[in-house]
């Protein structure tokens, strides 16, 4: 079942560029879930590449072959990283809302 949203008539007229959205997330911690920061912190401490892998996966619209190719890794390595990211960070790669928020947060971290 798809998530229902409010009709367009009930929404305020918001005209933001993608860059403005990224800047807002970068400048306002209250808008973020903190997930991207947790992933980046984990990578920095453990020397892992979860943030890069998740970013590539999202940038490639969930295409494992394209995402793994962009990172020059085997597709099974990408699958393993995504499974481990789900386990470690509680990410649900089937949640469109969660993936959108993660995408925006990762992009904001990257500047």
The set of residues, in sequence order, having a beta carbon less than 8 Å from that of 33 and lying 6+ positions away, is 101, 105
Q: How far is Cα 31 from Cα 19, in angstroms, rounded to an integer?
A: 15
Confidence band, pLDDT 50/70/90 cuts, at residue 13: low
The pLDDT tens digits for 24-46 are 777 777 777 889 999 999 999 99
**58: helix, strand or coil:** helix
| CB distance 105 to 97 below 8 Å | no
| CB distance 21 to 101 below 8 Å | no
pTM of the model: 0.78
Q: Which residue has the higher pLDDT, 109 or 10?
A: 109
Q: How far is Cα 78 from Cα 40, in angstroms, rounded to an integer?
A: 17
Average pLDDT over residues 60-77: 97
Average pLDDT over residues 68-82: 98
pLDDT in the model for residue 1: 38
């Amino acid at each position: 079942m798809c998530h229902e949203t409010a009709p367009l008539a009930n929404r305020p007229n918001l005209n933001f560029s993608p860059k403005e959205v990224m800047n807002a997330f970068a400048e306002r911690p209250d808008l973020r879930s903190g997930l991207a920061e947790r992933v980046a912190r984990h990578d920095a401490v453990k020397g892992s590449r979860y943030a890069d892998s998740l970013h590539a996966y999202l940038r490639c619209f969930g295409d494992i072959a394209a995402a793994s190719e962009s990172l020059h890794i085997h597709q099974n390595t990408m699958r393993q990283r995504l499974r481990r990211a789900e386990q470690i960070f509680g990410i649900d790669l089937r949640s469109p809302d969660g993936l959108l928020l993660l995408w925006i947060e990762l992009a904001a971290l990257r500047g």
